[in-house]
Amino acid sequence: IPHIAWEPKSLQQVKDDAYLRNFARGLNALGWPVFVRFASEMNGYWTPWHGNPKLYKEKFRLIHRVLRREAPRVATIWCVNNPPLENIMSYYPGDDGCDWVGVNLYSVPFYENNPKRPAFSDTPLALLDPIYKMFAARKPIAICEYAASHQPALDKISRPEFATEKLSQLYGALPRI
């Protein structure tokens, strides 16, 4: 299923207007299911849609409503980053405001390249688990982005075995069809 990440420069530009309706109709015209991941990682300070949970939820719900009306085969994915976790519920658009819950997660030797925040022993499953526990009973879960670092900017030490181990942990835990 195609996956489109829509990341506006600001939430103020998101409106129920001709642009949004034409975008939705274009997706509908494709004739197949599509995932739309709107303004992900809102729980992280690095995104322009961080800092106003009320406005974020309003705009996410608007996107969900227009896509539901104009493109019924499109599913919206509300996608957080882990870490941080402490503020994600303040951005959740509600069970009726999204179709899927997604998570972006990254295995890194140091969180935010901070030597006081080592992450060598954290598994990708430990990053996925809190999101799964919060939402899996009511929403399907998607891993929207995953990567394993092999060389942090902090110390520039090459660690291919770290990346290989983390990728193996994640892929080894996923169900096989």
Question: Around Cβ 41, how many Cβ atoms within 10 Å?
Answer: 23
Q: Give rounded-to-5 percent helix, strand, coil for the chain.
A: 40, 20, 40
DSSP string, 137-150: TTS-EEEEEEEE-S
pTM: 0.90
Residue 1 has a pLDDT of 61
Residue 89 has a pLDDT of 97
68 phi and psi, to 5 degrees? -60, -40
Residue 177 has a pLDDT of 65
Bridge partners for 53 per DSSP? none
Euclidean distance between CA atoms 73 and 70, whole angstroms: 9
Q: What is the pLDDT along the chain (177 residues), one digit of tens a residue?
A: 666 677 888 899 999 999 999 999 999 999 999 999 999 999 999 999 999 999 999 999 999 999 999 999 999 999 999 989 999 999 999 999 999 999 999 999 998 889 999 999 999 999 999 999 999 999 999 999 999 999 988 899 999 999 999 999 999 988 776
